[in-house]
Amino acid sequence: MKTELLSASDPNALRYAADVLRYHGLVAFPTDTVYGVGALAFRPEPVQRLYTVKGRSTDKAIAVLVGRDSDLANVAAHLTPAARILARRFWPGSITLVVPRHPNLPEVVSALPTVGVRLPDHPVARALLELTGPLAVTSANRSGEPNAATAQDVLEQLTGRIELVLDGGRVPGGVPSTVVDCTGPFPKVLREGPIAAAAIEAAVNAGEAA
């Protein structure tokens, strides 16, 4: 397989990437944290390929990125009050909320009753997501290898494994998102990233007091 590299500034880049995804391809693109590689969330076959491409265990769920708040209804069964507070405070941004999974979301995305969901703060990612709808996205690197901060980093690990890399330059973050379990009455930080646990606690407390 040949992996294409296309500048995200090309006027046809985003529509071309969306077409690749619709034809069951995999596309890597920049986000506000690291480069991700994605597939249409409701197409089980390409989502399954994400595990193979990364060498990732299938018992690890894949997060879903959305480009607009209205897409949440198709991904999450519901949001707890804490999840709503955190989404209002930190989205778009580098926080992934673990919420109850919508029953229509394929189990290959998450075999668990939950799914991680995020609305990223990057113009290329947002524009692509607005064209495609929810994408199952994981970091664009081989499992156990360094995260990709540039398109070249992606190519060094995934050339010949995916169809397309959108080059949007170096990502502004370079650190994977903070992951917060929002399924219980109190949010629990599962992985601390750009947004600290103290900031999450403060946001929830302020939201509850409002």
pLDDT tens per residue, range 19-28: 999 999 999 9
Residue 84: predicted pLDDT: 95
**Domain range annotation of the chain:** 4-78+92-175
Cα–Cα distances (Å) from 100 to 131, 154, 188, 207, in that order, read 25, 31, 14, 21
* Percentage of residues of the chain with pLDDT beyond 70: 99
User: In CATH, what class is 4-78+92-175?
Assistant: alpha beta
Give the mean pLDDT of 67-95: 95
For the chain, what percent of residues have pLDDT higher than 90?
94
Report, as an integer, the average pLDDT of 57-68: 94
pTM value > 0.85: yes
Q: Residue by residue, what is the 3-state secondary structure of 142-171?
A: CCCCCCCCCHHHHHHHHCCCCCEEEECCCC
| pLDDT tens, residue by residue, 91-140 | 999 999 999 999 999 999 999 999 999 999 999 999 999 999 999 999 99
